[in-house]
């Protein structure tokens, strides 16, 4: 009987030791898992903040290529809006002012892991954004303009009332996604949904097409409800048209023209296209930033994009 009692006591003592060790291991694992989760969440927050800051700062490089301080302050502001302090942000601009790298660092204090001697972890996230001329985009209007040095705020004829330097039979229209006046009208009203890239060969759409031109132009005018002007317009304003810049045509009638880039124009609503020989579209040249493909070294015609490259 004494031996049995002694055996049971020893068993209870061993079980207590095992339970205690198991509890320590369980609590330790839970503590590490909790702190690890906090680190992952903070790392994601820093990465999002770095992405937003790099994209915003890169846009400033397009406006003021030499104003590195403006880009840095913009990066700090956007990082702060996403939960990072200004003193945690650094920005490096490439010598040609086409790329900016934003790095955000933050120290994260451990909570439960302190029991095991872990006190703090330094986290870092970085993002690089590049700016450049758009070399591929969707939403272009079915119009074309010959490559030249465009002047900000200057008015240009985007569709002529009579054949000009585009060759006999051409008034500035393109057959995007297919031929015909109906397709031309829908593309002019809504923008062509397909992708157009620098180097593509596009078919012209010969003829004056005055009726479809007038209807599509009127639809764009009616769609702008904010009183936009070429000096002050909202992003996505229907009065902004993106037009392929093409190399000088050499043929006549329906022919292929090569895309050299893209330019943006604000439609002159005060001079709507008329019928027949009055079917002309005019617009002011403007610089814009749009979603699109970019390529280093490509000539810019005013339509630029900002891309995260890493």
pLDDT in tens, 151-172: 999 999 999 877 666 777 888 9
**What span, in angstroms and rounded, lies between the C-alpha atoms of 51 and 161?**
47
3 within some domain:
no
What is the pLDDT confidence band of residue 25, given thresholds at 50, 70 and 90?
Answer: low
Residue 6: the pLDDT is 53
CB neighbour class for 26 (10 Å; exposed up to 12, middle 13-18, buried from 19): exposed
Name residue, tokens 């939960």: 83
Range with top average pLDDT, 71-75, 246-250, 255-259, 291-295: 255-259
**Domain's final residue, options 82, 109, 132:** 132
Residue 70: the pLDDT is 79
Indicate the SS3 state at residue 141: coil
**What span, in angstroms and rounded, lies between the C-alpha atoms of 169 and 192?**
22
Number of domains in the chain: 2
234 within some domain:
yes
The verdict on 73 and 173 lying in the same domain is no
**What span, in angstroms and rounded, lies between the C-alpha atoms of 168 and 50?**
53
What is the pLDDT confidence band of residue 94, given thresholds at 50, 70 and 90?
Answer: confident
User: Which residue range is the domain that position 297 belongs to?
Assistant: 138-305
Residue 200 φ/ψ, nearest 5 degrees: -65, 150
The verdict on 71 and 156 lying in the same domain is no
**What span, in angstroms and rounded, lies between the C-alpha atoms of 114 and 109?**
9
Across the range 239-255, mean pLDDT stands at 89
Residue 183: the pLDDT is 96
Task: Provide the greatest CA pair distance for the chain.
Answer: 120
Pairing of strands 99-109, 120-137: antiparallel
Examine the pLDDT at 101 and tell me if it is beyond 80.
yes
Q: What letter would DSSP give residue 221?
A: H
- pLDDT tens per residue across span 184-213: 999 999 999 999 999 999 999 998 899 999
Q: How far, in Å, are 10, 59, 136, 287 from residue 305 at the CA level?
A: 76, 8, 10, 11
Which position has the higher pLDDT, 297 or 236? 236
Contact predicate 158/265, CB 8 Å: yes
Name residue, tokens 């004494």: 2
Which residues have CB under 8 Å from 214's CB, separation 6+? 272, 273, 274, 275, 279
Indicate the SS3 state at residue 83: coil
174 within some domain:
yes
Mean residue pLDDT across the chain: 82
**Domain's final residue, options 115, 132, 149:** 132
Nearest Cα to 269, choosing from 286, 285, 281?
A: 281
Nearest Cα to 239, choosing from 253, 228, 252, 249?
A: 228
Which position has the higher pLDDT, 307 or 202? 202
The verdict on 123 and 154 lying in the same domain is no
What is the pLDDT confidence band of residue 119, given thresholds at 50, 70 and 90?
Answer: low
Please, what's the b/e burial string for 52-70 (b: 16 or more CB within 10 A of its CB; e: otherwise)? Answer: bbbbbbbbbbbeeeeebee
Residue 8: the pLDDT is 44
What is the pLDDT confidence band of residue 53, given thresholds at 50, 70 and 90?
Answer: confident
Contact predicate 290/134, CB 8 Å: yes
Residue 131: the pLDDT is 87
Q: What percent of the chain has pLDDT over 90?
A: 36
The verdict on 104 and 162 lying in the same domain is no
| H or E, element range at 74 | helix 68-81
The verdict on 69 and 214 lying in the same domain is no
**What span, in angstroms and rounded, lies between the C-alpha atoms of 252 and 306?**
37
**What span, in angstroms and rounded, lies between the C-alpha atoms of 282 and 285?**
10
**Domain's final residue, options 104, 132, 160:** 132
Q: What percent of the chain has pLDDT over 70?
A: 81
Q: What is the pTM of this model?
A: 0.75
């Amino acid at each position: 009987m004494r031996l049995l009692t002694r055996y049971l006591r020893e068993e209870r003592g061993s079980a207590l030791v095992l339970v205690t060790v198991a509890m320590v291991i369980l609590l330790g694992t839970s503590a590490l898992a909790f702190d690890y989760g906090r680190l992952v969440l903070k790392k994601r927050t820093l990465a999002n903040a770095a992405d937003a800051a790099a994209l915003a700062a890169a846009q400033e490089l397009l406006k003021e290529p030499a104003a590195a301080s403006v880009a840095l302050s913009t990066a700090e502001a956007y990082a702060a809006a996403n939960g990072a302090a200004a003193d945690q942000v650094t920005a490096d601009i490439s010598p040609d002012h086409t790329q900016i790298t934003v790095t955000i660092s933050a120290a994260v204090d451990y909570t439960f892991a302190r029991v095991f001697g872990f006190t703090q972890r330094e986290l870092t996230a970085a993002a690089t954004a590049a700016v450049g001329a758009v070399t591929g985009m969707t939403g272009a209007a079915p119009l074309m303009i010959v490559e030249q040095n465009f002047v900000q705020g200057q008015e240009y004829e985007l569709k002529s009332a009579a054949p000009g330097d585009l060759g006999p039979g051409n008034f500035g229209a393109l057959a995007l996604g297919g031929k015909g006046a109906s397709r031309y009208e829908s593309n002019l009203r809504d923008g062509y949904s397909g992708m157009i890239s620098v180097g593509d060969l596009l078919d012209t759409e010969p003829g004056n097409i005055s009726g479809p031109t007038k209807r599509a132009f009127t639809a764009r005018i009616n769609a702008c409800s904010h009183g936009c002007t070429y000096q002050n317009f909202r992003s996505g304003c229907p009065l902004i048209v993106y037009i392929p810049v093409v190399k000088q045509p050499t043929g006549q009638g329906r022919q292929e023209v090569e895309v050299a880039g893209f330019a943006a124009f604000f439609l002159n609503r005060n001079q709507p296209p008329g019928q027949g020989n009055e079917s002309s579209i005019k617009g002011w040249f403007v610089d814009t930033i749009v979603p699109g493909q970019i390529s280093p070294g490509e000539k810019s015609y005013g339509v630029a994009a900002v891309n995260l490259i890493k």
